[in-house]
Chains A and B, each alone.
Chain A
Amino acid sequence: MKYIDEYRSSDTVGQYLSLIDRISTRPWTIMEVCGGQTHAIVKYQLQKLLPDHIRLVHGPGCPVCVTSLELIDRAISIASLPQVIFCSFGDMLRVPGSQTDLLRVKAQGADVRILYSPMEALKIAKENPGREVVFLGVGFETTAPAIAMTIDLAKREKIGNISVLISHFLVPPAMEAVMSSPRCVVQGFLAAGHVCTIMGYDEYLPICKQYQVPIVVTGFEPLDIVEGLYLCVKQLEEGRVEVENQYARSVKKEGNTQALRMMRSVFEIVDRKWRGIGVISHSGLGLKEEYREFDAESRFQVEHVTTKESAECISAEIMQGFKKPCDCPMFGRQCTPERPLGAPMVSTEGACSAYYLYEGARS
């Protein structure tokens, strides 16, 4: 299949693997930022094909995983209200809150619907003027433009019965949080290709410079990943520190300017709590004053709950690259995708879940 098979060719992947083998002279630790990349690395077991001294650690780039427990509890409370039609992307529904999850409240009678695009929520709101439609707006910079467009349209068309529960994250501040840890082990980054498709990659230049860390904007297919790794290892070996773009077929330096304009007109940058890591300043998006009437949190006044994460979960260590899923004594035993103890086991793109899925609990 065009645009897929070219990037899953064993010959070309093999050529890059040999190049990495040839040019690498010492150990390097590289973090792939995005959960989609982690998923591909573990699915194709790429780590096993790399030289032993090239170590991959898995970053915090799974939006489902890093959404705070408090937000999920709030989503569940709102979804349980009888007047609400609660809409979400599919993979948020299984994420456990403190006591239940959205699939279970659906089974108890809540009107919870899986949508492929937030624009569908607008249609549902128009068709159901007597109900309140709430969209769970979770994601990184990738999903933000579509949600911004939905809210902007709702405002312009004066559709009053729609609101969004926003938990949007920004990737660069999380990379800075990883680099600024005194225990940081990361020497190079594969940056998230889809995030850069929207944002471009200018904002990575200061991180690259300040922390003296090579950053390669990388795609999600096996060939993308090995090429990204090759470019990163080459920089490290040559002592260069640059932002490079492996994913040029999708990413432009300036990003998608139209999408950015829409995002910036609706959202402002706020502090955001990352599950498993904590609050990172300026790492999220919230609605601007003029769009705040569409904020589900203020519209429904749900009681603020404080939640506690499992003390045994080592997700912060995993998402910052200090440990691997199989280093956790709970992995595959007390902690499984069915009963996750923490963030990276929650969605298939979380590192622990990907290991569990493709390597089995026996790993």
Chain B
Amino acid sequence: MSDQGEFSVTCPILHQQEEKILMSHGSGGKHTSDLIEKVFLPAFGTSSETLHDGAFLHIDQSDLVFTTDSYVVQPLFFPGGSIGDLAVFGTVNDLAMCGARPLYLSCGFILEEGFDIDRLRQVVARMKDAAALAQVKLVTGDTKVIERARGDGMYINTSGVGVVERAGINPQSIQSDDLILLSGDIGRHGIAVMSEREGLTFETSIESDVGELYSSVRALFDEGIDVHCMRDLTRGGLATALVELSAARGLAMEIDESAVPVDAVVRGACEFLGLDPFYVACEGRMIAFVSSNDGEQALSVLEGLGSNPRIIGHVSGQSGPMVSSKTFLGTRRILDRLVGDQLPRIC
């Protein structure tokens, strides 16, 4: 193709106009990656290969993990949890996914003028309980107030520090033939929040899966399971986590759709709204890449903790990023990053 021809088709006016932040820049999909690769990494000079849920720091013979996350969920309370639970468990889970024992959290509150202090107390009480459950201490914090109508009631940022319990847990450690272990059913959090926000009711209410994952990680370590990498399933859900890890490691992955547990109410809601549960957010689920010999034992460890784990697939020997999913008919479809947010369909 001539240069002229190429120019005419790849240069619509969209490219030339001033880019603005869209909601999808925060949804964990392709737009979020674009922002990281084109804005943050060039400025901060970090390599994208080291990107993980947290940063590994080696200080005076100690191996630490440091991570941060901000919480802007609406509504602040939803079936099964609150912004407070998310703020503690989300950051704890990021540390756990790096193979670290979570120790200390910071907590920054951004509050809107006029926000009900009783409501703040309720959120803080949930945070206290969550921290006790996850065995972390909230040791430092900050409060800022913004003018009325300039925020959404409250936002929370938490940062966390943990000490590495097992080194080498990262995407680069994923091996061909590793089994992909999913810790429980998917999509509860996204559907719980969406149904609360939009006032959608289903026959039975669905509760968010928000919860801590460190105890699962610890149990896998204690039983000597050969874990190579872990990732909690947050924005973008199971599919996005798999696609990101496949891209980071450069190895193809295959999963079996029928092995992925999805609660009937979540499935129903997804059918109704035209959403793919593989892309719906969780807040207390993870995938772990374990050595193929350890699959059965890893399953029984997580079953012992009362969750509903499954082996959903494996890392294939093929190089190159690609995640495929076996349908109930035995055919294969590709899973890819979502371009923007999942949007409910017309029909």
Report yes or no: B346 in contact with A107, Cβ–Cβ below 8 A.
no
Q: Which residues of A contact B268 (CB under 8 A)?
A: 1, 4
Smallest Cβ distance from A113 to chain B, in angstroms? 11
> B41 an interface residue at 8 Å Cβ cutoff?
no
Stretch at the interface among A20-28, A42-50, A203-211: A42-50
Residues from chain B with Cβ under 8 Å of A94 in the complex:
339-340, 343
With A139-B346, A194-B347 in contact, do A45 and B333 touch (Cβ < 8 Å)? yes
Q: How far is the CA of A243 from the CA of B142 in the complex (A)?
A: 69
Smallest beta-carbon distance B202→chain A, Å: 12
Contact B264 A91 (CB under 8 A): no
* B347:A114 contact, CB within 8 angstroms: no
- CB pair A100 B17 closer than 8 Å: yes
**Which of A13, A64, A312, A358 contacts B346 (CB under 8 A)?**
A64
Least Cβ–Cβ distance between B33 and chain A, in angstroms: 12
**CA of A142 to CA of B328 in the docked complex: distance in angstroms?**
29
**Interface status of A96 (Cβ within 8 A of chain B):** yes
Contact B10 A334 (CB under 8 A): yes
Q: Mark A131-171, 1 if CB is under 8 A from B, else 0.
A: 00000001110110000000000000000000000000000
- Alpha-carbon distance A348/B322, docked complex (angstroms): 20
Decide yes or no: A357 and B13 within 8 Å by CB, A1-B268, A103-B23, A337-B339 being known contacts: no
Looking at the complex, which one of A92, A107, A311 makes contact with B22 (CB distance below 8 Å)? A107
B218 at the interface (CB under 8 A from A): no
Q: Does A63 sit at the interface, judged by CB under 8 A?
A: yes
Q: Does B332 lie at the interface of the complex (its beta carbon under 8 Å from any beta carbon of A)?
A: yes
Residues of B within 8 A of A341 (CB): 9
Q: How many residues of B are in contact with the other chain, CB < 8 A?
A: 38
B345 is an interface residue with CB less than 8 A from chain A: yes
Which chain B positions have C-beta within 8 A of A91?
Answer: 343-346
| Residue pair A10, B343 in contact (C-beta under 8 Å) | no
Q: Scoring B residues 329 to 344 as 1 if CB is less than 8 Å from chain A, else 0, what string do you get?
A: 1111110100110011
Is A327 part of the contact surface with B, judged by Cβ < 8 Å?
no
CB neighbours (8 Å) of B345 from chain A are 89-91, 347-349
A17 to chain B, nearest CB (A): 9
A108 and B17 alpha carbons, distance in the complex (Å): 12
In residues 48-83 of chain A, which contact B (Cβ within 8 Å)?
48-49, 63-64
Cα–Cα, bound, A90→B273 (Å): 10
Closest A residue, CB atoms, query B5: A312
Residues of chain A lying within 8 A (CB to CB) of residue B20: 104, 107-108
Interface residues of B (CB under 8 A from A): 6, 8-10, 12-14, 17, 20-24, 30, 198, 200, 264, 267-268, 271, 273, 322, 327-334, 336, 339-340, 343-347
Among all A-B residue pairs, the 5 with the closest Cβ atoms:
A90-B343, A45-B331, A90-B344, A360-B334, A107-B20
A–B Cβ pairs within 8 angstroms, 24 of them: A10-B328, A10-B330, A13-B329, A36-B347, A45-B331, A46-B331, A49-B329, A91-B343, A91-B346, A93-B343, A94-B339, A99-B17, A104-B22, A107-B20, A116-B200, A116-B344, A140-B347, A142-B346, A310-B9, A312-B9, A334-B6, A335-B9, A336-B339, A359-B333
